[in-house]
Amino acid sequence: MIQPEGQALPEVQIRGLGLAETLRLGLFQACLGCLALIFAGLLNRVMLSELQFPGLLVGGALAFEQFVAPSRVLFGQISDSHALWGRRRVPYIWLGTAFFCTLAVLSIPLIFHVARLLELGNQTQTIFAAAALCGLFALYGLAISLSSTPYLALVVDRTTEQQRPRAVGIIWCMLTVGIVVGAIAISINLKGLDGVTDARTLEPVLRSFMAKVAVIVMALTLVATIGQEKPAGREKLAGPLANPGEEPRQDSITLPQAWALITSSGQVLVFFSFLVLFTLALFLQDPILESYGAQVFGMSIAATAGLNAVWGIGTLLGLVVAGLWVVPALGKLSTARLGCQLILANLILLLAVGLSGQVAALQVVMLLFGLASGIATNSALVLMLDLTLPQAAGTFVGVWGLAQALSRALGKVLGGLLLDVGRFLQTIFPWSEGAYAPFALVLSVECVVAVAALFALSRVNVHQFREDTGKSLSKVLALELG
């Protein structure tokens, strides 16, 4: 049941995360990484290459997962202000996980139903089925938001500013481990599907695989989160604004007041813009990467899934290097700037390697791209959690999650749309014939976005954010006391 607001519970001291607890908590991130690979990589490739879905339909359907991202702000505020079964974070993580695991299993038969209707050419039924597919991905996105927003708020609750770079590095390493494990699992379980395009063969194998993944994800989520949160009450936070003598947190900040905090600093809009551009620069190629490997480099399903494993290993190394050495040495903003510059350089390399068609060269570039992604991601996430008030952690995390999710949605739509535009341009300009040119268009636009992200980052000022929101928080609390 939902705990009534204002009901005082015994005071609980929330301590920082130890290494073992951080690793265990990171299992949930590993699960999200595995599922993200399956949806953005495996199912995307199957729909585009094996089932011959239009690129815009695939990108648009997958983007609905992020189009519902505004719900993150609401879920974050609910998590801040309403305890469920005596806790603010963990029960919402469990509910969201149960929902998205169920929807993941249901996605397989629906995808193949749409494929059959596309083959039959029944436009009316195809439109309704495509709408249902978009609706399923929208519900899946709501479930992800319901679980991941309280999860990140839990990380803020459990860490001090000094602990946060290490905790973020470890937890996002676990995300990357999940991507790598997912890629390996796909390669092992679906290796027999290389070259298979018959839906009657593909569907039962993919359905069985997704059911197994859902069961494992649910089990690991329970292992990751049981015991990670004390009963809700008058908690003392471990966040950046927590002081030894400060008053315990109360559940009195309402949604309008939380919104007043969010809009109290122009730095919120600046950092929101940076997160949108940064995420877009990192993932615009995501919807077309495996198809890039298949059509330009002639790689099999298992081999293109392996690209994500190589990228994941590079990201894992980047996260560790950034968390342990680069961020402490250069600082968060300088590391984020370096990471964005490295991402831009590797996008240019990804463009160039397509001209050679060498699989080994592509794998090296993906490893370097992963390393750059890890360095940039660690610093960006630490900045994100620093630009968060502990008194409204869920709400602020929801806003930052909204920026990332909207960007991922835009990336999925633009990735598929730009690919279709590139293919259309080939019909006008004969010199652009071949599989490479449409993918080159996507990667070129991504380079421009990376430059824009660097410009937005130059405007970020953490001290200004804290000064502005600190004043606004004092006004909100003064009104409450009055």
Domain boundaries, the chain: 14-230+237-242+253-481
Report, as an integer, the average pLDDT of 312-341. 88
What average pLDDT does the segment 359-384 reach? 91
Closest to 147 in 3D by CA, of 101, 95, 107: 95
393 exposed, middle or buried (CB, 10 Å; 0-12, 13-18, 19+)?
buried
pLDDT tens per residue across span 32-76: 999 988 887 788 888 887 888 887 788 788 878 878 888 988 898
Q: With contact defined as beta carbons under 8 Å apart, do 35 and 214 qualify?
A: no
For residue 139, pLDDT beyond 90: yes
Checking if the pLDDT of 97 tops 50, the result is: yes
Tell which wins on pLDDT, 32 or 8. 32
pLDDT at 414 > cutoff 80: yes
d(CA 464, CA 452): 22
pLDDT level of residue 323 (50, 70, 90 thresholds):
confident
d(CA 460, CA 249): 28
- The pLDDT assigned to 134 comes to 92
Q: Can you name the residues that pair with 361 across neighbouring β-strands?
A: none
Instruction: Find all residues with CB under 8 Å of 283, minimum gap 6, and list them.
Output: 407, 408, 411
**Percent of the residues in the chain that have a pLDDT greater than 70, as a whole number:** 88
CA 451 to each of CA 99, 214, 458: distance values in angstroms, whole numbers, following the listed order:
38, 38, 11
At 391 the pLDDT is: 67
Top-confidence residue, 249 or 332: 332
3-class DSSP assignment, residue 8: coil
- On whether the CB atoms of residues 323 and 378 are closer than 8 A, the answer is yes
Average pLDDT over residues 72-98: 91
Contact 110, 132 (CB under 8 A): yes
When pLDDT is cut at 50, 70 and 90, the band that residue 259 belongs to is low
Amino acid letter, residue 439: F
14-230+237-242+253-481 folds as Growth Hormone; Chain: A; (1.20.1250)
